[in-house]
Amino acid sequence: MSGPAAETPSAIQICRIMRPDDANVAGNVHGGTILKMIEEAGAIISTRHCNSQNGERCVAALARVERTDFLSPMCIGEVAHVSAGITYTSKHSVEVQVNVLSENILTGTKKLTNKATLWYVPLSLKNVDKVLEVPPVVYSRQEQEEEGRKRYEAQKLERMETKWRNGDIVQPVLNPEPNTVSYSQSSLIHLVGPSDCTLHGFVHGGVTMKLMDEVAGIVAARHCKTNIVTASVDAINFHDKIRKGCVITISGRMTFTSNKSMEIEVLVDADPVVDNSQKRYRAASAFFTYVSLSQEGKPLPVPQLVPGCGKPLQSPGT
Amino acid sequence: MSGPAAETPSAIQICRIMRPDDANVAGNVHGGTILKMIEEAGAIISTRHCNSQNGERCVAALARVERTDFLSPMCIGEVAHVSAGITYTSKHSVEVQVNVLSENILTGTKKLTNKATLWYVPLSLKNVDKVLEVPPVVYSRQEQEEEGRKRYEAQKLERMETKWRNGDIVQPVLNPEPNTVSYSQSSLIHLVGPSDCTLHGFVHGGVTMKLMDEVAGIVAARHCKTNIVTASVDAINFHDKIRKGCVITISGRMTFTSNKSMEIEVLVDADPVVDNSQKRYRAASAFFTYVSLSQEGKPLPVPQLVPGCGKPLQSPGT
Amino acid sequence: MSGPAAETPSAIQICRIMRPDDANVAGNVHGGTILKMIEEAGAIISTRHCNSQNGERCVAALARVERTDFLSPMCIGEVAHVSAGITYTSKHSVEVQVNVLSENILTGTKKLTNKATLWYVPLSLKNVDKVLEVPPVVYSRQEQEEEGRKRYEAQKLERMETKWRNGDIVQPVLNPEPNTVSYSQSSLIHLVGPSDCTLHGFVHGGVTMKLMDEVAGIVAARHCKTNIVTASVDAINFHDKIRKGCVITISGRMTFTSNKSMEIEVLVDADPVVDNSQKRYRAASAFFTYVSLSQEGKPLPVPQLVPGCGKPLQSPGT
């Protein structure tokens, strides 16, 4: 495995035992738990790097997570090892690569469970609307910079595209029929608390991703009525920061089913309840892919999505 | 000075420092945090009492909380003292009285913040649908038994009445106008996890109450757009147990406003997602009263609820 | 029976039901969970005492925990009773003794699980680098003061010694061989969040101890590959405070094995990521003793530590 090298000053490793609350009833660790740890490692290493030279102090805010696959399931009692390294810097952003291993400390078995790429942007501590400059990393090979630049340009393009796609929202529907989109669509509200936030009062990207995975999982479970696990997450874009005190609504709906998997769109909207001057806005969006498992952990066929529905509405309700 | 004393068998005291996560942005501890501690004390003392004689082992399940007032606010850094004692037993139920004090350990000031009365029912560990008999308590005065019996009869009557009132549900609505019921109504879904449950796989009553208060607070904040705090909770009735693995939907809507306060109805519905054989059912319901506070902690006038709305729906959507 | 009694001024009692997240996969409550509750009780009673006279307000910071044994295991569903009392005061420090009982509320069985002694120092709220004076306690017997003074002098001496011992750190090693120090050594990093801290922005001693126990447990499990539990903790010294926003690295390595037990050294280093002016520093250190248990809870022989290792690395690490 190439990935991030061992403990150069620019690498970091988090490890933690998986507990019952990290997992579903069948003992499989939630994809959201893993995404949250990945983001914590990314936030530490990129904040550390962006403050490594004298100058204005800053905090690194998550801007985007590239598509990531969940290669093998993790279970309660296993130790998750999350290692992160910086692989590219542009003038105003940092690319972090993260590997996740699961270790069964009783048998010694280790498995690669995830590889992820995250993009961070340094925001000034004095003025959170000001993006600072990123100190350049030193590349060990010439090509690394060039390859990094290509990844940077590609994600920039994709981010701009998704900005346009985000007009719609989950619509409540009358008497939904089984296996329709309306039948399984779900949304939850969450009042942002202190533990959800960075020192500067913004929600950690990892907290948002954990809630997104939770909603996607409920949509998948309602559709299948079986044990379901996260198989992959499409690129997640963070369009705007979420402040402490906001109420966030996370909505999910099934957009596609194949024989073996389900695709669920998840939207995050923030509502600055107490601040009358600001309107509700779209903060993040992504597509999650889930699979259905039997009690023995074997893949099960997924009920196909049927087109019918109830009576759709034009605007958000609940 | 000798070491710490042991507790008496018939009383229990829980205390804990209030942390940032227990409170809202203004530093006021959530009513739900306090309700959860009250229920933990009640569950310990009633389970202990019901198992105090030889016979079948049981766990005490919360059946009802009487109306309770939040007499003074509690703040981050203060110590909550929750003390509980058994005050009455009928053949199949236990009445527990709980007092909550807040202590400022820097100034030594103590304030009574709550008095609550809870009713528990002992369920057999072998068969959770079987209600066991409660060992009688010894009363220090004759009248105590008679007074307790009256409270028991009164709550039994009220419980039966509320069973009939619970047909309706929060309805999503098109384009709600400000200050209407539809404008502030909110609901959240929660996937029941291991830490939410007793050893026997049922959700703690306190966990449910904390979620109910959270939804009520979001409804109140959406209506007022100010700092809001729980003033009181009407009797909460627990109609049915909630099993591990359920998805619960907690819905709240404004039902009444006076000049100084808001009344919010909260309903809890449980959906045994993975178990196809069981339908969604009403698990609990209550009315919460909230007040609006200025930044200095003074009561503010509440915007009046207006009758208009959008287009209501007939059945649950989201 | 009258209502619940008020607590006496000089003692405090915390109790709480043990939940799945408090325990390992075998259902044994983590030593770290118990250490955290012990410290919460100690912090409440010593902060209360140090503010009991008029004068500058302060918060009691944990300076040291004396060696403590875990006398019997605690399980999920049991109630932990933690009671604390002040047993000695010097001019600038407070000694707190804490007892922990486990209660099985189904059978009524109670067991003593821990006795611990903690030392606190009052820090001014206005200037956290200033140590205030402690109001004297009243002793019921003359000898108590003299005995306390001896304990005070003994711990002061030991604290000074350990300061010198703390130069080294866990070094990652290539291809470690089974049963060597390098094979089981582990470290985790943690970004300090609001809920980890006191009102004044410093990490609670109990939070640090819980993380230390977690790392020690991973080291022990990697070495033994069995169910392991905390048997005792050697004196824990807190050399320096940890501020909010720091990243802390907790590292553990096996230092000794006997036939029945393992000794693990745990070091805590704090890194003020955002604050460039301050260097990484050693915040705490301790030795934990673990035992290995069979599935029936019987002690198992421990594999002996072997001297060999792999190829050491030059840079600090994992």
Cβ <8 Å between A8 and C315: yes
Asked if residue A19 has pLDDT above 90, the reply is no
Average pLDDT value for residue range A38-49: 91
Kindly report the backbone phi and psi dihedral angles of residue C285, in degrees, each rounded to the nearest multiple of 5, phi listed first.
Answer: -155, 150
Helices B205-224 and B31-50 sit at what angle, rounded to 10 degrees?
Answer: 160
The distance in angstroms from the start CA to the end CA of chain C is 58
Determine the distance in angstroms separating the CA of B1 from the nearest CA of chain A, rounded to an integer.
Answer: 40
Asked if residue C246 has pLDDT above 90, the reply is no
Question: What's residue C146's pLDDT?
Answer: 93
Average pLDDT value for residue range B142-153: 93
Q: Which residue's entry shows tokens 């745990």?
A: C266
Question: What's residue C318's pLDDT?
Answer: 38
Q: What is the DSSP letter of A304?
A: P
Q: Which of residues 119 through 138 in chain B touch A, CB cutoff 8 A?
A: none
Question: What's residue C77's pLDDT?
Answer: 87
Per-position b or e across A35-45, b if 16+ CB within 10 A of its CB? bbbbbbbbbbb
Q: What is the pTM of this model?
A: 0.82
Cβ <8 Å between B195 and A273: no
**Total CB pairs under 8 A between chain B and C:** 143
Average pLDDT value for residue range A177-186: 87
Contact C196, C237 (CB under 8 A): no
Cβ <8 Å between A21 and B227: no
Q: How confident is the model at residue C207 (pLDDT cuts 50, 70, 90)?
A: very high
> Cα–Cα distance between B95 and B119 in angstroms, integer?
5
Q: Is B149 left (phi over 0), alpha (psi -120 to 50) or beta?
A: alpha
The residue length of chain A stands at 318
Write out pLDDT tens, residues A109-131.
Answer: 899 999 999 999 999 888 888 99
Average pLDDT value for residue range B61-87: 93
Asked if residue C39 has pLDDT above 80, the reply is yes
Cβ <8 Å between B314 and A274: no
Write out pLDDT tens, residues B286-305.
Answer: 999 999 998 888 899 999 99
Q: Which of A62, A256, A252 is nearest to A159 (CA)?
A: A62
> Cα–Cα distance between A85 and A157 in angstroms, integer?
24
Alpha helices (H) along chain A: 31-50, 142-165, 181-184, 205-224
Determine the distance in angstroms separating the CA of A61 from the nearest CA of chain B, rounded to an integer.
Answer: 21
Query: Measured between CB atoms, which of C11, C107, C198 is closest to B5?
Result: C11
Average pLDDT value for residue range B217-246: 90
Q: Token pair of B318, please?
A: 């989201």
Cβ <8 Å between A47 and C273: yes
Asked if residue C210 has pLDDT above 60, the reply is yes
Query: In this complex, is the C-beta atom of A115 within 8 Å of any C-beta atom belonging to chain B?
Result: no
Contact B135, B280 (CB under 8 A): no
Contact B240, B282 (CB under 8 A): yes
Establish whether C24 is a catalytic residue.
yes
Contact C16, C80 (CB under 8 A): yes
Which has more pLDDT, B148 or C297? B148
Across chain B, mean pLDDT equals 86
Average pLDDT value for residue range A9-14: 70
Nearest chain B residue to A177 by CA: give it. B317
Question: What's residue B258's pLDDT?
Answer: 94
Q: Token pair of C300, please?
A: 């198992």
Q: Is A218 left (phi over 0), alpha (psi -120 to 50) or beta?
A: alpha
Query: In this complex, is the C-beta atom of C144 within 8 Å of any C-beta atom belonging to chain B?
Result: yes
Query: In this complex, is the C-beta atom of A199 within 8 Å of any C-beta atom belonging to chain C?
Result: yes
Alpha helices (H) along chain B: 31-50, 142-165, 181-184, 205-224
Asked if residue A64 has pLDDT above 60, the reply is yes
Determine the distance in angstroms separating the CA of C48 from the nearest CA of chain B, rounded to an integer.
Answer: 5
Q: How confident is the model at residue C163 (pLDDT cuts 50, 70, 90)?
A: low
Interface test with B, best of A192, A276, A318 (most B CBs within 10 A): A318
Question: What's residue C69's pLDDT?
Answer: 93
Helices A31-50 and A205-224 sit at what angle, rounded to 10 degrees?
Answer: 160
Poorest-confidence range of A220-229, B300-309, C286-295?
Answer: B300-309
Q: Which of C188, C250, C253, C187 is nearest to C220 (CA)?
A: C253
Please report, for residues B61, B88, B140, C22, C193, the alpha-carbon distance to residue B94 in angstroms, rounded to integers and kept in the order given.
10, 6, 17, 29, 40
Average pLDDT value for residue range C271-298: 85
What lies within 8 Å, CB to CB, of B133 at 6+ separation is B91, B92, B122
Asked if residue C107 has pLDDT above 90, the reply is no
Average pLDDT value for residue range C199-225: 90
Which has more pLDDT, C33 or B21? C33
Active site positions of B, annotated = 24, 213
Question: What's residue B172's pLDDT?
Answer: 62
Question: What's residue C273's pLDDT?
Answer: 75
Average pLDDT value for residue range A23-51: 90
Query: In this complex, is the C-beta atom of B295 within 8 Å of any C-beta atom belonging to chain A?
Result: no
Question: What's residue A5's pLDDT?
Answer: 35
Full DSSP string of A196-217: GB-TTSBB-HHHHHHHHHHHHH
Question: What's residue A174's pLDDT?
Answer: 62
Chains in contact with chain B (at least 3 beta-carbon pairs closer than 8 A): A, C
**What is the helix (H) or strand (E) element at residue C33, kind and residue range?**
helix C31-50
Question: What's residue B246's pLDDT?
Answer: 86
Question: What's residue B173's pLDDT?
Answer: 64
Query: Measured between CB atoms, which of A14, A51, A125 is closest to C188?
Result: A14
Question: What's residue A53's pLDDT?
Answer: 83
Question: What's residue C49's pLDDT?
Answer: 93
Asked if residue A166 has pLDDT above 70, the reply is no
Asked if residue A165 has pLDDT above 60, the reply is no
Determine the distance in angstroms separating the CA of A80 from the nearest CA of chain C, rounded to an integer.
Answer: 10
Query: Measured between CB atoms, which of C194, C195, C225 is closest to A106?
Result: C225
How large is the C-alpha radius of gyration of chain B? 20
Poorest-confidence range of A154-163, B55-64, C165-174, C178-187?
Answer: C165-174
Full DSSP string of C46-93: HHHHHTSSSSS-EEEEEEEE--EEB-S--BTTPEEEEEEEEEEE-SS-
Q: What is the DSSP letter of B294?
A: -
Cβ <8 Å between A172 and B227: no
* ipTM value for the complex: 0.78
Question: What's residue B8's pLDDT?
Answer: 38
Q: What type of residue sits at position A229?
A: V
Query: In this complex, is the C-beta atom of B57 within 8 Å of any C-beta atom belonging to chain C?
Result: yes
> Cα–Cα distance between C303 and C306 in angstroms, integer?
9
**Total CB pairs under 8 A between chain A and B:** 113
Question: What's residue B243's pLDDT?
Answer: 84
Which has more pLDDT, A3 or B305? B305
